[in-house]
Structure 1
Amino acid sequence: MSDFDVIVTGAGPAGLAAACLLALDGRRVALVARTPGDQSDPRTVALMQPSIRLLMHLGLWPGQLKAETQPLRKLRLVDDTGSLFKAPTITFDPAELGEDAFGWNFPLGLLIPALSQRAAELGVQMTGADAATAQSSSDGVSVTTAAGQRIEAQVALAADGRNSLLRDAAGIRTNRWSYDQSALVTSFDHTGTHDGISTEYHKGAGPFTTVPMPGDRSSLVWMERPARAAELMALSDQELGAEIQIGTHGELGRISNLGPRRLFPMQGLVARDFAKNRIILIGEAAHVVPPIGAQGLNMSLRDAAQAADLMEGEADPGNADILNRYDALRRRDVQPRQQVIDMMNRSLLSGFLALETGRAAGMALLAQFGPLRRAVMTYGLAPSGGLPRVMRAPAPEPPVLLA
């Protein structure tokens, strides 16, 4: 009944990656999304090693992407809350795991066009218009675009964001919540060197995170109370640069040449089903987390890779067994991470002494106990239940036995 094997709605990194992976597997894929317009999004994304291996599988790494991105040599957590019980600074070093870097920091304005071009090269059919309506039935999914084009497929991957039209068409409900925070996102030059270190300063209103970019430049995600965030947005570049310099305690030197800035309200979301009625949720259609620990997009790319894994070689890529297995596998990865991120964020916002003391004690244990620190780093990179095939590290070469 279908024009295509798979419909993907949404042209963010997760939707584009899913479309590329499925096209590589020989699927007929339609990408339902408007043509990207404004490329001034100031956000960057830290892609960890498993996500880098996905890009390698797509033929996008190392190449030009690696030349224009910055390796993350270390991750540092700094207690800057002013709490009575101050936690020690923790430095996570990938050398403890036998790696040179945890991953690389990508501007979204670089990553999305690269994935979009690769999708076109692989034969993904792009509608150039968002979905306007969608329906699912026992044997397929139909989508009508805003331009009036009707497309049918055996299964649809909903990568159309936290207000997903496809999720509603599947009859999937969500749990949503908001935080008393907004995130100010920008980038800046600095006279000091970042040494490839990303630093997450834990402050009373949430994390203030600097992430290295090529040269003496860094990106910033500054989570603040909404009223204070609005005040910061209204400052001149010079005034905001001075505030950033204070926030970093001068560790990056003098701040200048600020990039575009945007403000994002902080929210959380989790779908009650990750797949239902021939519709599979990936990315923010399934889960939304605050930008803590570089988990958001890495989880979303695991969604895309897991869906492609389960569909590989299947005559009906939308059958009930695939949907049930996808739901179980992704829930096992996403929900524990979401709970940890939520607990960490709320502990900063609460002002309760017991929570602050518990967080400080936990960080002290991480700083002092190497095996626990390495376990946390390993879990931060990949789920304990294993990775989708294209994200796994290659098996080591067997030893050569000499006669």
Structure 2
Amino acid sequence: MSDNSVIVVGAGPAGLAAACLLAQDGRRVRLVAREPGDASDPRTVALMMPSLRILENLGLWPGDLQAKTQPLRKLRLVDDTGAAMAAPTVTFDPAELGEEVFGWNFPLSLLIPALYRRALALGVEVTAADAAGAEPRSDSIVVITTEGERLAAQVAIAADGRNSVLREAAGIRTNRWSYEQAAIATSFAHSGPHDGVSTEYHKQAGPFTTVPMPGNRSSLVWMERPERAAGLMALPDRAFAAEVQIGTHGELGRISDLGPRRLFPMQGLLARDFARNRVILVGEAARVVPPIGAQGLNMSLRDAAGAAALMAGEDDPGNPALLASYDGRRRRDVQPRQQVIDLMNRSLLSGFLPLEAGRAAGISLLAGFAPLRRAAMQYGLASSRG
């Protein structure tokens, strides 16, 4: 059995960011995870400025990443539901907040390896295995790997996803639900410019979101009913490109050169505790939200930064008072956002006139009342100190 200050389980962006921040603070950190190596993941993530400040603190931004990523200069919401009470198009402009851009769009296949290399450079020790279980104790926690190794630490960070082994070992229960949706993630080239504008088209089956990438290329997250999504996945590239052309109303020009496609079922999850029994939840171990408003990974990075900030200077980073503080702080940040995202998504799916009218009225207020629009932008960007 080896002793560590912190064990991080999971090598997604949130887990790797937590490992880097804690190692940079002088902690002995062990990462329990297989080496990330899926270069075919088509997803990108829009990192807002607070998240970029975390990368800057780690020495990763702007650096080499900037040339391979794309600034987000404006965000648009377009009501494309065909509902009787349609909302006006809303354009969010960072100039209203005195900023040039909202953030930058990163391919996950670029971000994750960069964080992993930084973790190694900061001295994070790696156990290339998955967690099979854990044994919380009064003054420590033991993580048991799939290889049978037993690793002890003062606290464990569960970044092992929606089916978290550590969360279960800590006795943390969850609320789970499903949406009648699946999300298609891919990328595509287009003949027209995107001008750095990300557009979220609100359709009857959910958002259809294009996010700019370098050059005349954009990523796509297309939420659809499961049967329709399965049919779209089965289409040859030319036919799928034609569907994307229709979905964007030709605003990006001719669609071509599709990237790999992946299909993800849409689910929701919220942990009833964000920290307990020497386990701190980050990322999808704590909550799962639909990909609306670029909130998911930005919240996850705030988890990582919040945990690291609370542990700074603590002799026992897994003490009950610290865990209670983390739980309270992250809950105040996460729960209202998750509720807004859930309501927005359900309002598109329901076909229920009062919900549609409420969504249209809310978006109309954003479009026509600048102070409210600025407040919404500030809330969406948030602080990295969760």
Q: Please, what TM-score do these two structures have when normalized by structure 2?
A: 0.99
Tell me which residue corresponds to 1:88.
Answer: 88
Tell me which residue corresponds to 1:395.
Answer: none
Q: Counterpart of 1:388 in structure 2: which amino acid?
A: R
Q: Secondary structure, in 3 states, of the residue corresponding to 1:34?
A: coil
Does structure 2 retain, via aligned residues, the 8 Å contact 1:13–1:115?
Answer: yes
Aligned length: 386
CA-CA distance at 1:21 after TM superposition: 0.2
Moved more, 28-37 or 283-292: 28-37
Tell me which residue corresponds to 1:298.
Answer: 298
Matched, 1:191 2:191: yes
Tell me which residue corresponds to 1:77.
Answer: 77
Q: Secondary structure, in 3 states, of the residue corresponding to 2:59?
A: coil
Tell me which residue corresponds to 1:394.
Answer: none
CA-CA distance at 1:149 after TM superposition: 2.0
Distance 2:13 2:166 in 1: 18
Tell me which residue corresponds to 1:277.
Answer: 277
Distance 1:54 1:354 in 2: 41
Moved more, 125-134 or 225-234: 125-134
Structure 2 counterparts to residues 87-236 of structure 1, below 5 A: 87-236=87-236
Moved more, 117-126 or 37-46: 37-46
Does structure 1 retain, via aligned residues, the 8 Å contact 2:38–2:109?
Answer: no
Structure 2 counterparts to residues 354-365 of structure 1, below 5 A: 354-365=354-365
Moved more, 200-209 or 33-42: 33-42
Backbone CA RMSD of aligned residues: 1.0
Distance 1:209 1:188 in 2: 12
Q: Secondary structure, in 3 states, of the residue corresponding to 1:134?
A: strand
CA-CA distance at 1:2 after TM superposition: 6.2
Tell me which residue corresponds to 1:46.
Answer: 46
Identity %: 76
Structure 2: 5+ residue runs without aligned partners?
none
CA-CA distance at 1:342 after TM superposition: 0.2
Q: Deviations over 1:71-106 (max 9, x none)?
A: 000000000000011110000000000101000000
Q: Secondary structure, in 3 states, of the residue corresponding to 1:50?
A: helix
Distance 2:73 2:185 in 1: 22
Structure 2 counterparts to residues 227-376 of structure 1, below 5 A: 227-376=227-376
Q: Secondary structure, in 3 states, of the residue corresponding to 2:33?
A: strand
CA-CA distance at 1:67 after TM superposition: 1.0
Q: Deviations over 1:51-84 (max 9, x none)?
A: 0000000000001111100000000000000001
Moved more, 126-135 or 155-164: 126-135
Q: Please, what TM-score do these two structures have when normalized by structure 1?
A: 0.95
Distance 1:298 1:36 in 2: 20
Q: Secondary structure, in 3 states, of the residue corresponding to 2:171?
A: coil
Tell me which residue corresponds to 1:59.
Answer: 59
Does structure 2 retain, via aligned residues, the 8 Å contact 1:2–1:154?
Answer: no
Tell me which residue corresponds to 1:379.
Answer: 379
Runs of 4+ displaced beyond 2 Å: none
Q: Counterpart of 1:33 in structure 2: which amino acid?
A: A
Q: Counterpart of 2:327 in structure 1: which amino acid?
A: D
Does structure 2 retain, via aligned residues, the 8 Å contact 1:2–1:140?
Answer: no
CA-CA distance at 1:43 after TM superposition: 0.3
